[in-house]
């Protein structure tokens, strides 16, 4: 875990302060509610979630009762909206604004930047609300590329925090160090304008969770085949495979096998990989039982999009397995009409457990 940036001015902070009223938050770019869920678990009241994705609405509202989903593009939302709608006051020390904006423009796995330009400047729009409300705290989570991309909006955003009197720290964190069975490197920022609180990140775990700790029969995931449809709210549903795709999985060795297991099979080898064994090595691979899962993306239901094969069953991981590796509670219900839409909400989410730990750090000040 590496510290990237800090404008901490070295002022000695006192921990002797009056307890704040119950902390409350507004979750911008909330998606299906991973950050909201974790903050609520920590005891923070989340007033509202904002997202333009209509497919997120039912899932968000069902799992976060009492929190209002506002379906809109942040660029069309007036700065005073929350003051008018929810009586949110400026300069509220107990208010947290969260801005985990979509990150396609800065993602290393996105090759067509022209399609992701809309995500480039979303933090600029988010900063407008920080300036208007001047909350006690600001939280941001994004891909690591936002800290390294030459076209990043991050320097502007940090300069705005400086101008508005915020102290902040940023880090690249790996979620596997915070009680999440997944290797997921993310940019994380905590900021405050309060002088009597210490800025700190959650403590790292001594032991990493692995795939074995979360999925498998011992954890309540009964064996299924590719194409299994779970009609219950548990959603232990797995995408189907073509006959050739099934043969590839059957020939991929258990517990971390890869497409190299069938690279010499003329029937199964894909032409694009001939002579390119070192390219996209995780594609069609299986997870390892005793390692954290790879980053759960929005395509985790497809073996052709990464190392998303079950460690031993001949299929991609299910929707519920992906959600569990993202630390969603087992009773979190995904109210979507397709596997792809559920996977998008899951893959784009801030892992709930990391959000919970961030919330507790702020509460304990």
Q: Specify the residue for token string 């915020």.
A: 166
Specify burial of residue 68 (Cβ count, 10 A radius: 0-12, 13-18, 19+): middle
199-215 pLDDT, tens digit each = 999 999 999 999 999 99
> Do 202 and 178 meet the contact criterion of CB atoms below 8 Å apart?
yes
Residue 228's pLDDT band (boundaries 50, 70, 90)? Answer: very high
Tell me what pLDDT residue 149 has: 86
325-363 pLDDT, tens digit each = 999 999 999 999 999 999 999 999 999 999 999 999 999
Residue 14's pLDDT band (boundaries 50, 70, 90)? Answer: very low
d(CA 223, CA 6): 48
139-193 pLDDT, tens digit each = 999 999 999 988 899 999 999 999 999 999 999 999 999 999 999 999 999 999 9
* Positive or negative: CA dihedral 117, 349, 20, 15: negative
Q: 212 is written with which tokens?
A: 């074995």
- Per-residue pLDDT for 108 more than 70? no
d(CA 77, CA 224): 45
d(CA 301, CA 106): 23
Tell me what pLDDT residue 104 has: 56
What are the distances in angstroms from CA 16 to CA 13, 19, 99, 197? Answer: 9, 9, 29, 9
d(CA 253, CA 259): 9
- Per-residue pLDDT for 110 more than 70? no
Say whether 137 sits in a helix, a strand or coil: strand
Residue 178 Cα to chain centre, angstroms: 13
Of all residues in the chain, the percent with pLDDT exceeding 90 is: 81
307-335 pLDDT, tens digit each = 999 999 999 999 999 999 999 999 999 99
36-84 pLDDT, tens digit each = 999 999 999 999 999 999 999 999 999 999 999 999 999 999 999 999 9
- What's the mean pLDDT in 104-128? 66
- What architecture (CATH level 2) is domain 20-206+350-364? 3-Layer(aba) Sandwich (3.40)
Q: 126 is written with which tokens?
A: 């988010």
Q: For the chain, which residues make up each domain, given as ranges?
A: 20-206+350-364
Tell me what pLDDT residue 102 has: 83
d(CA 327, CA 209): 11
* Positive or negative: CA dihedral 281, 178, 10, 136: positive
| 37 given a catalytic annotation | no
> Do 60 and 37 meet the contact criterion of CB atoms below 8 Å apart?
no
Of all residues in the chain, the percent with pLDDT exceeding 70 is: 90
**Residue of 30, 37, 103, 352 marked catalytic:** 103
Say whether 360 sits in a helix, a strand or coil: helix
**pLDDT mean across residues, the chain:** 91
């Amino acid at each position: 875990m590496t510290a990237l940036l800090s404008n901490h001015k070295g002022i000695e902070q006192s921990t002797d302060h009056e307890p704040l009223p119950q902390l409350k938050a507004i979750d911008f770019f909330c998606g299906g509610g991973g950050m909201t869920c974790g903050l609520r678990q920590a005891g923070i009241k989340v007033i509202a979630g904002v997202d333009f994705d209509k497919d997120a609405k039912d899932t968000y509202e069902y799992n976060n009762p009492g929190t209002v989903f506002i379906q809109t593009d942040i660029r069309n939302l007036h700065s005073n909206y929350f003051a008018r709608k929810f009586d949110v006051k400026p300069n509220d020390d107990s208010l947290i604004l969260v801005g985990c904006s979509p990150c396609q423009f800065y993602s290393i796995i996105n090759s067509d930047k022209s399609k992701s330009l809309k995500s480039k400047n979303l933090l600029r729009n988010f900063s407008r609300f920080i300036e208007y409300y001047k909350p006690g705290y600001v939280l941001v989570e994004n891909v690591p590329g936002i800290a390294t991309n030459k076209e990043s909006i991050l320097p502007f955003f940090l300069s705005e925090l400086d101008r508005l009197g915020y102290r902040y720290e940023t880090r690249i964190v790996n979620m596997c160090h915070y009680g999440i069975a997944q290797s997921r490197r993310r940019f994380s920022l905590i900021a405050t304008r309060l002088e009597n609180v210490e800025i700190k990140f959650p403590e790292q775990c001594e032991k990493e969770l692995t795939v074995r700790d979360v999925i498998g029969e011992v954890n309540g995931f009964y064996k299924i085949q590719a194409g299994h449809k779970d009609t219950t709210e548990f959603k232990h549903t797995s995408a189907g495979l073509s006959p050739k795709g099934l043969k590839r999985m059957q020939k991929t060795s258990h517990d971390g096998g890869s497409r190299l297991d069938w690279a010499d099979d003329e029937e199964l080898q894909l032409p694009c990989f001939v002579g390119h064994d070192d390219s996209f090595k995780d594609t069609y691979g299986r997870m390892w039982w005793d390692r954290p899962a790879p980053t759960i993306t929005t395509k985790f239901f497809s073996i052709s999009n990464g190392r998303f094969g079950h460690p031993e069953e001949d299929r991609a991981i299910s929707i519920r397995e992906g959600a569990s590796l993202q630390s969603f509670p087992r009773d979190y219900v995904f109210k979507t009409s397709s596997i792809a839409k559920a996977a998008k909400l899951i893959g784009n989410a801030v892992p709930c457990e990391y959000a919970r730990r961030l919330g507790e750090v702020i509460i304990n000040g």
